[in-house]
Amino acid sequence: MNRLIRFGLMFGNLYHVTSPALVERYNRALEHLTGKRTALTDFYIDISGFSPEVGDDLGDPLYLNQGGVNRQFILLSTDQKRAPLLDAKFSTSRTILRRFIEDNEAALFALTARDAVAGELVNSVYDVSTPQRLFDIRAITVDADTTAGTVRNAEALAGKIDTFLQDEDAWFDDVLIAEMIGLAAQTGDVTRNPVKLKKMRFEQGNFWTAHFGGLYVFQKVEHPAVIASADASALGTLPLEHVFETRQRNQIARFLELNGLVEPIVAARGIDSAAILRQKMDFILVDAVTTAGVDLSGTTRADMRRLARDHAAHLPEEFHALASLVNWAENGGAWPRIASDHPAYFYTLRAADHADADLVNMLLAELTSKDVRQLFICHKQMFYATYARWPDAKKEYVAQYLAAEYQADKVGTRDALFGHDAPMEEPPASTTRTKPQTMDDLVARVGPWGAVRR
């Protein structure tokens, strides 16, 4: 893992806590939430304020996430919004934290100038000892305040000010006036500088969770299902009728198609589909040749073509199927029929344009784990777990590739792979065409690659 850290591919963009004032604020918040303090004077934190170094110091890697639910957080700066969320137990957690910071940025900037903001992502479930409890999580609310209770005191002061202005006898209420003066000493002038955090509530719709070996829960689609990375039989009876394992490729393909969650890469507008497929082929090639002990140091594009020729007989089905698809897209070759049980099937898809695109791309990354770029972007926890088992030659190649190609332009790469152009106006349908001529015609007629097998 040191190679990934050196290239900025692991623990990147964390917020560095170095000053004694920030360390003390962090400790106040930590004690407020957990009753513990750290002796460290220099450490890094993620968007939630979690620090692997502090976790090691306390001997508790879940010190802000006991039980894996109701994640607590510590904010020292609004700059934390750019940090990742380490060891996430739910795919929705980082999005919620970022939205909370961005929607309250001005107030949080003022609050964190003097104190840490501590809080919790609250739901009605306090443990997920059984898979069934996951379905009791209906919504997440954000509860936050400074360690000194500035927001709570500001709300109390605002209420007392209203009473003072509305009650004719308030001028003679010495107790009320004394309370207002005491609160104002802590909060400042809330009439000119309101200290208020928005009450935020997030519906827990479709999500991924690390619990129970990894589950993708699609409960807010027309045809709901749970997709399990591990043994589905161990989950017991769930509220959703359909429960699949990631090895049940035909059923997952059918589920994705029925709900309109994916589209063929070659049919997506505004992207270089052939270039994307060629890169996937390169990653599949790298996996094959490094397993065979080939050193990839200093390889060029010409070297990769040579390796593909030299090892053609030993390359997996995914490589050859994608090569046929590229040949169709670029040279008008024969249309390859890639059925849902083919190893290359999910490599040819990406999430369609909908609210759960990130979740679907995460699922596709797990189903196409040889595409290390998508795995790194969409499912970092699985990337780190599989990286540890790779040959050293593959580790070096992938780390150098991601550092050079992805880190240099993260936004551009994500847009090129997963972005969606505005839909174009469809031309009038022809009444004389007798056979499909374009990718759109093929998709309209038979689905992405022909009928999905049940």
Between 73-82, 177-186, 277-286, 344-353, the lowest mean confidence (pLDDT) is in 177-186
Residue-wise pLDDT for 142-184, tens only, equals: 999 888 777 766 666 566 656 656 776 666 666 766 765 676 6
Out of 81-90, 381-390, 439-448, which region has the weakest mean confidence (pLDDT)?
439-448
Domain range annotation of the chain: 2-127+140-149+195-204, 205-247, 250-421+433-446
pLDDT tens profile 72-128: 999 999 999 999 999 999 999 999 999 999 999 988 988 898 889 999 999 878 889
pLDDT at 279: 93
Q: How far is CA 94 from the centre of its chain?
A: 7
- Whether 350 and 417 have beta carbons less than 8 Å apart is answered as yes
CA distances from 99 to 80, 82, 105, 394 (A): 12, 11, 10, 37
Q: Is the dihedral of CA 336, 418, 5, 11 positive or negative?
A: negative
Q: How far is CA 286 from CA 225, 249, 308, 312, 420, in A?
A: 34, 24, 9, 12, 29
Shortest CA distance to 452 belongs to which of 351, 346, 363, 371?
Answer: 346
Nearest to 264 by CA among 344, 319, 179, 330: 344
SS3 state of residue 141: strand
Strand locations in 249-402, DSSP E? 262-264, 349-351
CA separation for the pair 145, 152 (Å, rounded):
7
Helices and strands, number each (H, E), in the chain: 17, 12
Contact between 257 and 244 (Cβ < 8 Å): no
Structure tokens at 50: 């979690």
Instruction: Enter the pTM of the model.
Output: 0.85
pLDDT in tens, 257-274: 999 999 999 888 878 899
Residue with tokens 């190893």: 343
Determine whether 421 is exposed, middle or buried from the number of CB atoms within 10 Å of its CB (0-12, 13-18, 19+). Answer: exposed
The pLDDT value recorded for residue 436 is 40
